[in-house]
Amino acid sequence: MSTRALSFTLAAIAAVVVAGAIMVRHSKGTVSPGSDAAVALGPLADGIIQARGMAPADVEAALRTYPRPGKYDDEFMAFLSGGHSGSVIVVGIPSMRIMKEIPVYGQDSWQGWLTGSRESSEIVSEGFFFKDMPLSWGDLHHPKLSLTNGEYDGKWLACADKAGGRLAIIDLRDFKAKQIVKTPNTVSDHGNYWTPNSEYFVTSTFFPAPQPYGTYQPLEKYAETYRGMITFHAFDGNAGRIRLEDTWQIELPPYFQDLISAGKKSSFGWMFTNSLNTEMCTGGTLEGKPAMEVGASKNEMDFVHVINWKKAEELVKAGKTVPLGGCRVLKLETAIAEGVLCFIPVSKSPHGVDVTPDGRFICASGKLDPHVTVYSFEKIQKAIADKNLEGKDRYGIPILKYDACREAYVEVGLGPLHTEFDDKGYAYTSLFLDSAVAKWTLGGPDRLAKDEPWKLVDKLSVHYNIGHLTAAGGDTAKPYGKYLLSLNKWSIDRYPSVGPLHPQNLQLIDISGDKMKILYEMPIGIAEPHASNIIRTDKLKAWVTYPEVGFDPKTMKKDPYGINIGQERVVREDDKTVRIFMTLVRSQFRPDIMRVKEGDHVILHVTNVERARDATHGMALHGHNLNLSIDPGQTVTVEFDAKHPGVYPWYCTEFCSALHMEMTGWMLVEPRNDEKQGRK
Ligand code: K7E
Ligand code: CUA
C-alpha cells in the first residue's frame, strides 16, 4: 500500500470511529460513516496522522484512550501504591490521568497531612514502633480494595507498610487515611489481603522478628528465636476500623512469608502464602558467610504455606492462644498439632501466590523457573486427608507431596512473578526477566476459555522489568477484564532524560481481544507503584463535600470543636493556654488576628464553613511548620507553642476566589517581658 493510500485508510478509520461515537450520542439526526460530517474529518485527521507518522494501531489506541474534556470517560479507577513515597495514587483508566495522591504514611503539604493537623498526626502516631521515634514515611506495596462476596464493594482500601510492619485503612467516602495500626510482634508486613467478605485484613511478615517481640536475639539463634507471623486484623466493616482487641495471629517459621492470597468460593476459609529463604540465611558478607542472594536461593524448592484460617479462628475462640505483645497468638506447635498449617513445595524463590477467580486453583511461580505451578485446592484437600506427605520441615510442619497437589505446570517465560485474571478464563503473569506479560488459559470444570487449558497463548513485551501487573478486578471472584496495567520498574530509553532517577513506566494493555495490545504508556515520576487494584468507577460513591459543617474526617462525625459562622471566639484557658475557634469562608479568616503571648500553647480549631464543591481553603503560617488544608465542611485542629516573640503572617494557600490574595491574617506573639524582642 502506498503511503498516501495508508494514511487515507488511517483517516478513514479515525473518521469511522469518531462518526460511530457521534452516532451513539445523537440517536436523532445521526451522522453515519461516509456522510458529509464523517468525510469532513478525513483530510484533517489525515494531515495529523501523516505528520505524526502514526500506524493504524496508534490511531485506534489514541481514540480509545482520549478523554473528552468535561466527560466522565474513565470507566475504571486504579489505586496504585506509591512504594516508599508512602502514598496511594489514583489513576483514571483508560485515560491514565492522575486524579489524586492519598498521603498515608508520609507527609503531604498540599493536603496538610503531617504538616500541622492534629488529626493526621494522631492517625500516623498510632502506628509508631517506638512512641518516641516518629516515622515520617512508610513503604506501601499492595493497596487492596475491600470485598463483599469476593468482589470489590468500593468502601475501603487497606495497605500494609513493608518497612514499618503497619497497616492503614483508607475511607473511600473521602479518600483519606483513617487508621494506621502497628501490627503486633512484627517488624515488616509485606503481603496483605482481605478475606472474601472483609472479615479480616490479613498481613504476612517479610522479615521474621526476634521473639519475644522487641527483644534482642542474636542472629546465631535465628532458627530458635525468630518467627514470622500471619496476622488476622479483625475489621469492623461498619466503622471501617481494625479492632485490635479481636485481632489474632498465627506464628510461622522464620522463612520470609512474602505475599498472600485468600481462598474464595470452594476454597473459602483458607489462606495461601509463598515463602522464600527456607534456608534461613541471615547474610554476613563481611563475616565469611554467603550474601542473602546466594544463601537464600540454595534450596531447589521453597514452600507455599497452606493455612486453614477458619479452623484457626475456632481455636482462637476456644482460647488455644497465648498472649504475646498485646495480641492473641496461636503458637506454631498448636498450629501444627491442630492441623491448621501445612506446606506445598514450590520452585525456588517464589514471589507471590494467586488464587483463580473460581477459587479452585492456586498459582505460584519461582522466579528462577520459567513456569507457573498451578495447585488444585481439591488435590490439596485430598493430600491433607490422605496424609500424603514428602516429609516435615525442621519445625515439624507437614510438607504435602508436590505431585499430589499439582494440577498444571505452565511454561510462561523467564522470571515469572505475579498473576492476575480476566473475565474470559485467562491468566496473565508478569515476567520480570523477559520484560513481558504472558497470557495463558485456565483449566478446570468452571473454565471459560475455549482454548486448550493451561497453555501459553500470547506474550507481549513491556518496557521494562515488570513487577506487578493488574487486570481490572483481576484479583477478585469476578474480574472485569478489558484492561491490564503493567507496572514497570525501569523506563530506560522511553522518555527524555529528567536526570539519573528515571520515572517508573506504567503501560495500559488492551486484553479484550485474542492478542494483547499496548494502548498507552505513562511515566510516573512521583513514586514506585508496586501493585494496584482496578475498580469500576461506578462502584465508587465518594462525597463531594462533607455532610455537615464542622465535620471531623478522623472520626467521620461532627467535631465537638466545629463551629458555624458567628461562633468564632478566642478563649484564654489559663496563663499559658489559648484556644481559638476560627472559621474560613471566601475570602476571610475570622478571626484574622491572633494575639498570643510568648510561651503560650495555642490550640486552634479551624472550620471551613463553605458548602460549595471544591471550595477548599488552606492556612500556611510563617515560621511554625504549619500548613493546613481544610475541605468544605471540615474542621481541623492544630496545637503548637508560640515560643518566639514576633509577628507571623498567615494566608490561604488555595487560590479560592477573586480575593484569595487578600485572604490573610497575623499572629502576634507578644514578648512576656519587654526586653525580649523576638528571635535570638
Ligand atoms: Cu512484587 Cu512488594 Cu508485591 Cu514489589 S512486591 S513488585
Ligand atoms: Cu481561601 Cu484562598
CA-proximal residue: ligand 1, atom 2 (nearest): 141
What pLDDT sits at residue 348? Answer: 87
- The closest alpha carbon to 559, from 638, 635, 639, belongs to 635
Provide the CB-side half-sphere exposure for 56 (13 A, CA).
10
* Phi, psi (deg, nearest 5) at residue 31: -105, 110
The three state secondary structure string of 515-551 is CCEEEEEEEECCCCCCCEEEEEHHHCCCCCCCCCCCE
Per DSSP, the residues of 604-617 read EEEEE---STT--E
In the 8-state DSSP scheme, what is residue 220?
G
CA-proximal residue: ligand 1, atom 5 (nearest): 530
Q: Which ligand is nearest to the CA of 592?
A: 2
Tell me the mean pLDDT in the region 296-304: 93
Q: 87-146, pLDDT tens digit by residue?
A: 999 999 999 999 999 999 999 999 999 999 999 999 999 999 888 999 999 999 999 999
Whether the CA torsion 214, 215, 220, 226 is positive or negative: it is negative
Pocket test for ligand 1, best of 351, 437, 506 (most atoms within 8 A of CB): 351
Q: How many CB atoms lie within 10 A of CB 481?
A: 18
Whether the CA torsion 438, 444, 447, 449 is positive or negative: it is positive
What pLDDT sits at residue 674? Answer: 63
d(CA 481, CA 28): 32
Q: Are 100 and 153 in contact (CB under 8 A)?
A: no
Classify strands 551-552 and 87-93 as parallel, antiparallel or unpaired: unpaired
Q: Are 154 and 481 in contact (CB under 8 A)?
A: no
- The closest alpha carbon to 591, from 486, 494, 503, 664, belongs to 664
Determine the distance separating the centroid of ligand 1 and the alpha carbon of 400, expressed in angstroms: 27
What pLDDT sits at residue 26? Answer: 36
What pLDDT sits at residue 19? Answer: 41
> Where are the alpha helices (H) located in 190-308, listed in sequence order?
222-225, 292-295
d(CA 455, CA 475): 20
What pLDDT sits at residue 25? Answer: 37
Residue with the three cell numbers 476560627 = 582
What pLDDT sits at residue 675? Answer: 61
Minimum-distance ligand 1 atom for the alpha carbon of 487:
6
Segment (H or E) for 6: helix 3-25
Amino acid at 622: H
Higher pLDDT residue, 230 or 15? Answer: 230
Determine the distance separating the centroid of ligand 1 and the alpha carbon of 536, expressed in angstroms: 23
* Phi, psi (deg, nearest 5) at residue 64: -80, -25
Q: Are 527 and 85 in contact (CB under 8 A)?
A: yes
Model confidence at 32, pLDDT cuts 50, 70, 90, reads very low
Q: Are 652 and 616 in contact (CB under 8 A)?
A: no
pLDDT at 223 over 90: yes
d(CA 72, CA 64): 14
Determine the distance separating the centroid of ligand 2 and the alpha carbon of 606, expressed in angstroms: 13
Per DSSP, the residues of 621-657 read ETTTTEEEEE-TTBEEEEEEEE-S-EEEEEE--S--S
Pocket test for ligand 1, best of 274, 468, 469 (most atoms within 8 A of CB): 468
What pLDDT sits at residue 10? Answer: 54
What pLDDT sits at residue 5? Answer: 46
Answer whether 467 contacts ligand 1 (Cβ < 6 A). Answer: yes
CA-proximal residue: ligand 1, atom 4 (nearest): 530
Determine the distance separating the centroid of ligand 2 and the alpha carbon of 664, expressed in angstroms: 9
Q: Which three cell numbers stand for residue 504?
A: 517508573
Model confidence at 13, pLDDT cuts 50, 70, 90, reads low
Minimum-distance ligand 1 atom for the alpha carbon of 531:
3
Determine the distance separating the centroid of ligand 1 and the alpha carbon of 226, expressed in angstroms: 23
Higher pLDDT residue, 39 or 243? Answer: 243
What pLDDT sits at residue 131? Answer: 87
Q: 565-595, pLDDT tens digit by residue?
A: 999 999 999 999 999 999 999 999 999 999 9
What pLDDT sits at residue 450? Answer: 86
What pLDDT sits at residue 673? Answer: 82
pLDDT at 226 over 50: yes
Tell me the mean pLDDT in the region 302-313: 97
Provide the CB-side half-sphere exposure for 467 (13 A, CA).
18
Answer whether 84 contacts ligand 1 (Cβ < 6 A). Answer: no
Classify strands 151-161 and 144-148 as parallel, antiparallel or unpaired: antiparallel
Determine the distance separating the centroid of ligand 1 and the alpha carbon of 328, expressed in angstroms: 29
What pLDDT sits at residue 526? Answer: 95
What pLDDT sits at residue 676? Answer: 56
d(CA 465, CA 143): 21
* Phi, psi (deg, nearest 5) at residue 392: -130, 155
pLDDT at 27 over 70: no
pTM of the complete model: 0.94
Answer whether 142 contacts ligand 1 (Cβ < 6 A). Answer: yes
Residues 6+ apart with CB under 8 A from 96: 65, 506, 508, 520, 522
- Strands lying side by side in the sheet with 151-161: 144-148, 151-161, 166-171, 176-182
d(CA 460, CA 599): 64
Determine the distance separating the centroid of ligand 2 and the alpha carbon of 658, expressed in angstroms: 9
Q: 142-173, pLDDT tens digit by residue?
A: 999 999 999 999 999 999 999 999 999 999 99
Q: 625-680, pLDDT tens digit by residue?
A: 999 999 999 999 999 999 999 999 999 999 999 999 999 999 999 999 866 555 54
Q: For 589-626, b where at least 16 C-beta lie within 10 A, e where not — what string?
A: bebeebebbbebebbbbbbbbbeeeebbbbbbbeebeb
Model confidence at 367, pLDDT cuts 50, 70, 90, reads confident
What pLDDT sits at residue 677? Answer: 57
3-state helix, strand, coil in the chain (%, to 5): 15, 40, 45
Tell me the mean pLDDT in the region 211-226: 95
Residues 6+ apart with CB under 8 A from 407: 361, 374, 375, 376, 379, 443, 444, 454
Provide the CB-side half-sphere exposure for 255 (13 A, CA).
30
Angle (CA) 531-533-536 rounded to 5° is 155
Determine the distance separating the centroid of ligand 2 and the alpha carbon of 618, expressed in angstroms: 6
d(CA 83, CA 144): 14
Classify strands 466-471 and 456-461 as parallel, antiparallel or unpaired: unpaired
% of residues, the chain, pLDDT over 70: 93
In the 8-state DSSP scheme, what is residue 96?
-
CA-proximal residue: ligand 2, atom 1 (nearest): 617
Query: Of the given ranges (9-18, 117-126, 254-263, 598-607), which has the lowest mean pLDDT?
Result: 9-18
Q: Which ligand is nearest to the CA of 610?
A: 2
Mean of all residue pLDDT scores within the chain: 93
